[in-house]
Amino acid sequence: MRVLVIGGGGREHALAWKIRQSPQVEKVYCAPGNAGIAQVAEVVPIPADDVPGLLRFARERGVDLTVVGPELPLMLGVVDEFRDAGLRIFGPTREGARLEGSKAFAKELMRRWNIPTGYFSVFDNPEEAKRFVAEVGVPIVIKADGLAGGKGVIVCEELKEAEQAIDEILVARLFGDAGARVVIEEYLEGEEVSFILLTDGVSVLPFPSSQDHKRLLDDDQGPNTGGMGAYSPAPMLTAEMHARVMAEIVLPTIQALQVSKIDYRGVLYIGLMLTPAGPKVLEFNARFGDPECQPLMMRLESDLVQLLGACVDQRLGEVTAVWDERAAACVVLAAAGYPGAVEKGRIIHGLEEVERLSDVVVFHAGTARRQQQYVTNGGRVLGVTALGADVAEAAERAYAAVSKIHFDGMQYRRDIGRRAMKWLTKGGQ
C-alpha cells in the first residue's frame, strides 16, 4: 500500500520511519517533509496546510492511507475533505480537532462532563481579563485560545507578568488570530505527564506514558517551547494512577465526543498534571506529541500501519500493541534564538558518526540539504533518540550521541529524564 504522511517535523520523521517498516507498505510519501525524512520517504513539496493540493496528490498517486502529523491541517478540515472524497485518512475531523484548536471549547466540554481540570475563565476584553486575575491572584496561567505552535502558554508568577501576558496576547496579538481570546486558568502543581492514546470513537488503545520538557532551559526555566525533549515511560504514572486517568478522564471524554456526535478517529493526547488531589487535564491535543512521538515510535514493536488502519476503519477493539520493555529518551537540538527568530543554513556535523551507533536514531525536524550537507532549517533541528534498559540509560545514550553532533549556535537541555530518575530514587515521594 501507499501511505502519505502530512507534515515536516521530527514527529513526522518518526511516523514515516515507523510506517516504512511495515510489510504492508510499498511506498511512503511525506508532504512537505524535510531532509531527514527524505531518507525513508519521497518528500513532496506540498505545504501541510494546502488541503486541495494534498487531496489532489493523494488521488493522483493512489494513496491508500494518509496520516496527519500536525494540528493545523486537522483544524483546516483535511480529514473532512479526504473522507468526502472517499479516501482513508487517520485523524479527527475539523470538529474533533477543536479539542486542540480552541482551549475554551475543550475547557467548556470538561466542565459540562465533570472531567477534572483547573478552574478557568475566557476573555476577549483585556481589562476584564486583568480584573479577573487581580481577583483570583497569582500564580496563574494565561493561554491563547487558538493554535500557537505549543508556545501560547504563559505561566505568570507575578501580577505584572499576568497583565503583560494579557496585553501581549489580546492587544499586541503576539500569537495572531490564536489570541483573539485568552483562557485564564488555575496554576496546577504536581508532575506533568503526557497520556497518548488511539481512539476510533468507541474503543481506545492507550500508549505507554511519556513526559515532555516544555521549557527551553534546564530545571524548567526559560520560555515555553514546542518541546525540548521527552522520555517514555514516565514512572510517576503508576498503575493506580493510570486506572484513575482511564476512569475519570479518558472514558468520560470519549463519551462526551459520542454524545456531541463528533466523529473522532485518531490520536487523543491528554496533557495531565498529577496533583495531590488526583489527575487533572491541562490540555487536549488532537495529534501525536512532538517530541513524545519519537521515543514512542522507538519503543513500538507492532506494525503502526495496522494500528492506524484499525483506527480509521473503526476496528480498534480488534488489535493490540506490543511495546519494547526498554525505555527511550529524546533530546532536542535547537537553533540559536529558538523559540524566537532563528538563523538557518548552519552546517550540521557528526550525523554520520551517530548513524553507526546501535539503538540510536536521529529524527530530523528543521533540516535541509545543501551541497551534500545537512544544514539547519528551523527552530527545533534534530531529535536524538535512544533506547536503554531504563530512562537513565536511555538518556545517557542519547546524550552520548548528542556529544558527537555540532552546529553553530546549537542549544539543548541537559536534564532530559532527570525528573524520572529523581522520582524513582525517592520512591515516588
pLDDT 10s digits, 329-355: 999 999 999 999 999 999 999 999 999
Residue 397 has pLDDT above 50, yes or no: yes
Which of the four pLDDT bands, split at 50, 70 and 90, describes residue 428?
low
Mean of pLDDT values over 190-219: 97
- What are the structural domains, with CATH classification, of the chain? 2-91 (3.40.50.20), 125-180 (3.30.1490.20), 191-425 (3.30.470.20)
Residue with cell 503508576: 238
* For range 383-410, the mean pLDDT: 98
Residue 290: name the closest of 10, 91, 66 by CA. 10
User: Within 13 Å of residue 64, how many CA atoms lie on the same side as its CB?
Assistant: 13
Quote the CA–CA distance of 299 and 323 in Å, as a whole number.
6
C-beta of residue 365 within 8 angstroms of C-beta of residue 311: no
Cα–Cα distance measured from residue 332 to residue 213, given in angstroms and rounded to the nearest whole number? 10
Instruction: For residues 410 and 1, give the distance between their C-alpha atoms in angstroms, rounded to a whole number.
Output: 39
Complete DSSP assignment for 277-311 = TEEEEEEEESS--TTTHHHHHHHB-S-HHHHHHHH
List Cβ neighbours of 205 (8 Å cut-off, separation of 6 or more).
197, 198, 199, 307, 311, 316, 319, 320, 321
Helices (H), 62-138: 71-75, 78-84, 94-101, 103-112, 126-136
C-alpha span between 79 and 89 (Å, rounded): 6
- pLDDT tens digit string along 64-86? 999 999 999 999 999 999 999 99
pTM beyond cutoff 0.75? yes
Q: Which helix (H) or strand (E) holds 191?
A: strand 191-199
Query: For the segment 207-240, what is each residue's pLDDT rounded down to a tens digit?
Result: 999 999 999 999 999 988 999 999 999 999 999 9
Kindly report the three-state secondary structure assignment for every residue of 329-390: EEEEEECCCCCCCCCCCCECECHHHHHCCCCEEEEECCEEEECCEEEECCCEEEEEEEEECC
Query: What does each C-alpha distance from 191 to 51, 121, 241, 275 come to in angstroms?
Result: 38, 23, 12, 7
Rounded-to-integer distance, Cα 276 and Cα 283, Å = 18
290 within 8 A of 212, measured Cβ to Cβ: no
The SS3 of residue 56 is helix
Angle of CA points 60, 65, 66, to nearest 5°: 80
- The pLDDT score that the predictor gives to residue 148 is 82
Q: What is the mean pLDDT of residues 387-395?
A: 97
pLDDT one-digit tens code per residue, 264-295: 999 999 999 999 999 999 999 999 999 999 99
Residue 425 in this model has a pLDDT that exceeds 90 = no
Summarised one tens digit per residue, pLDDT across range 180-190 is: 999 999 999 99
Alpha carbon 322 to its chain centroid, in Å, reads 21
CB 295 within 8 A of CB 230: yes
Residue type at 347? I
